[in-house]
């Protein structure tokens, strides 16, 4: 039985993907759309490496079934770093030397920028990043850099 394609917006462009059994948003982004900035980690919802922004909220792309994608609005790291919140987060992480391997950072940028864009100076960063693991153990440096972004957003408000 053929399955009709799904239409959604990814990084501001209208795209279609053909759902296949068991595939998630993560697979469609990386395999069908070539957006490999979003990383594959545990594929079980435990690490946050695959975090993207969907309809304004951070989601773990490995946990979003294709059935949820019709008319969704998705932003990946490729687009998020061009947004004010995403750019501020990425620049702060670079300035702080927060990365070791860097594998966790696309997901962290997505989670943090979605929270900062929504809550600004009131953002609870530890809560926003509670589902993002850094296997290199640089959580403290990452949170420190993001606190500076949050405080700067408060100064601008």
Give SS3 for 69: coil
Nearest distance in Å: CB 144, ligand FES: 14
Could you tell me how many residues make up the chain? 157
Q: What sign does the CA torsion over 2, 40, 10, 123 have?
A: positive
Which one, 63 or 83, has the nearer CB to ligand FES? 63
Nearer to ligand FES, 66 or 153 (CB): 66
Sheet containing 73-75, strands listed edge to edge, beginning at the edge strand earlier in sequence: 13-17, 6-10, 73-75, 51-54, 57-60
Provide the minimum distance between the beta carbon of 142 and ligand FES in the complex, in angstroms, as a whole number.
8
Least distance (Å) from ligand FES to the CB of residue 141?
9
Distance, in Å, from the CA atom of 48 to the CA atom of 111, rounded to the nearest integer, reads 9
- Contact residues for ligand FES (CB under 6 A)? 40-43, 45-50, 60, 62, 99-104, 134-136, 138
* Residue 116 vs 133, nearer CB to ligand FES: 133
Residue closer to ligand FES, measured from CB, 93 or 153: 93
**Could you tell me if 37 and 75 are in contact, meaning their C-beta atoms sit under 8 angstroms apart?**
no
């Amino acid at each position: 039985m053929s399955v009709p394609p799904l239409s959604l917006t990814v990084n501001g462009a209208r795209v279609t993907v053909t759902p296949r059994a068991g595939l998630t948003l993560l697979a469609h982004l990386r395999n069908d759309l070539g957006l490999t900035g979003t990383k594959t980690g545990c594929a079980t919802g435990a690490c946050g490496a695959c975090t993207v922004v969907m309809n304004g909220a951070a989601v773990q792309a490995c946990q979003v079934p294709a059935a949820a994608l019709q008319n969704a609005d998705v932003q990946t790291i490729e687009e998020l770093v061009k947004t004010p919140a995403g750019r501020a987060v990425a620049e702060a992480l670079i300035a702080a030397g927060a990365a070791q391997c860097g594998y966790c950072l696309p997901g962290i940028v997505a989670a943090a920028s979605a929270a900062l864009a929504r809550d600004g100076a009131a953002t609870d960063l530890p809560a926003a990043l509670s589902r993002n693991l850094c296997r290199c153990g640089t959580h403290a440096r990452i949170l420190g850099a993001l606190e500076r972004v949050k405080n700067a957003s408060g100064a601008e408000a």
